[in-house]
Amino acid sequence: MSEIIKPRELHGTKLFGYSIGFFGLFLTNLLISVFALQFYVYTVNLNSLLVSIGLAMQLFFSAIFSIVFGVMTDNKKPGRFGKRRPFLMYGLPIWVLTSILIWLPPWYCPEDNEFFLPTAIYFCVVIILNSISGTLILTAHISMLPEQSQTHNNRKKVASMNTFFTIIASILSLLLPLIIQSILKDPTAVKWWEPSGKVILFYMPLIGIGFVIFGVISLILTFFSVDESFHKTSLNAEMKKKSILATFQQMAIPAKDKKYRKYLAVRYFNSIGGRILGLLVVPFLAFVLRFKGNEFYIYILVSFSCKFGWFFVWKKIIEKEKQNFIKMYSLCIASSMIASFLELLFLINILSYEFKIILFVITIGTILGAIYSFRLFATPLAAILIYEAADKVKNTSKDKAVSELSGSYLGIMSFMMSLGQASATIMVGIILMGPNSENPTIITLCLCSMGIFYLISMVILGRIKLERSISGIDTINESKETSRTITPV
């Protein structure tokens, strides 16, 4: 009689050990992705266009290499330390070095030359190396999940913990930089030759080093928490190797799916909106709201309360309105769209300080809450569309069809999200060139432009007609093949 093999699951210390690695890596990556523009444009004095090009290249290389490294980790023969675990350590040295060097540029741009090439080249090289090495670690970490957690309920448990850590990381990644902003005499005058700029140049490397140390410790905990010994006794040890070229070619399948193309457009435009907020939140606080001292902590309170509050509100709505899933997703996007357009009120100079604070809490809080709730809708919707595509595959079982399609469908989705964030980064970089980087009107209008992209996303989403219901669909793990997409702060 054959032995019944119990599905593998992550619980207790193993669950914490696996999730803490994602937290440590994401915390440092988010700090770089969001605050690098603030640091290099407003302190180092590098032109915003050059900074945006570097950040866009970071996202592009992450999207490409997440697919390449995904194939590499799938094809690796299990060894002494496992199949995927060693890749956590392979990328660690370069990731650690570049995560620190990004805050220690050897040259600052002269006062009269924002296009100083040595600084621009240094920034681009460091951030690309950081992107590639970080993507190797993240891809190895994410690709472990289907093997470590083999039941739907356990994956939901892992996803919930990762969501919790994502929100905490988004708060911490700006908490320390905003603490620095709060002690500056003039948060609007932070060039490297100014007193406030010298304070930032001193503290940012220390924050970066502290985050990296935590990241290293967390990844080491993951390395020793994850057990890959099952590969030695697996009956499926001899798996067919994948080809990188074939993997890219397979992504053409979802690109031909008309309904899924609409879904990709929704994720693309939502990513643009979220990235705009992530890049402009600090300039908005400094140059539009003119925050000083302890006023910067208002954002931290809004961020913490609204992200968690709206997340649980939308989660409850989904549970009660499963039959109106698309409408509820549209409503979530609509809330961020309306809040974005309400930012136009900040252009009225006669508004009182108290009214501006209330408006800030309502608008930014609503947008943050919606953005962090999008995945509650997007992940099940991706699963439904993949199941609908699998229904059309003939001469194969449903489970096998879903398994074969999910990688390419989620891979191209991840690529489109990175492309959306890269597009937003370039757009913001062009708009903030020269004196525009400190112009409150320009910053406000740029922030309000989020509403346009959310409006387009909502219109496209409304054209998606589902053949299946969300009920009964075993949600596919969206992180199975994903690039290092950045969550807004």
What tens digit of pLDDT does each residue of 425-460 get? 999 999 999 899 999 999 999 999 999 999 999 999
pLDDT band at residue 1, thresholds of 50, 70 and 90? very low
Joined together, the tokens standing for residue 65 give 């290499």
Average pLDDT over residues 210-229: 86
* 484 Cβ neighbours under 8 A, 6+ residues apart: 29, 59, 62, 66, 131, 134, 135, 138, 418
Statement: residue 481 has pLDDT above 70: no
Statement: residue 302 has pLDDT above 80: yes
Tens-digit pLDDT profile for residues 249-285: 777 888 888 899 999 999 999 999 999 999 999 999 9
Tell me the C-alpha distance between 232 and 364, whole Å: 51
Statement: residue 139 has pLDDT above 90: no
Average pLDDT over residues 350-362: 93
CATH of domain 251-489: 1.20.1250.20
**pTM for the whole structure:** 0.84
**Which part of the chain is CATH 1.20.1250.20?**
9-228, 251-489
Statement: residue 245 has pLDDT above 60: yes
For 400-439, letters b (16+ CB in 10 Å) and e give: ebbeebbbbbbbbbbbbbbbbbbbbbebbbebbeeeebbb
Tell me the C-alpha distance between 416 and 145, whole Å: 22
Tens-digit pLDDT profile for residues 152-186: 677 767 777 877 888 888 888 888 888 898 899 88
Which pLDDT score, from 0 to 100, does residue 141 have?
Answer: 79
CATH of domain 9-228: 1.20.1250.20
pLDDT band at residue 146, thresholds of 50, 70 and 90? low
Tell me the C-alpha distance between 33 and 131, whole Å: 10
Q: Where are the beta strands (DSSP E) in 112-238?
A: none
Q: Which amino acid is at 232?
A: K
Higher pLDDT, 391 or 400: 391
Statement: residue 294 has pLDDT above 80: yes
Which pLDDT score, from 0 to 100, does residue 111 have?
Answer: 93
Most confident range, picked from 8-22, 326-340, 375-389, 406-420: 326-340
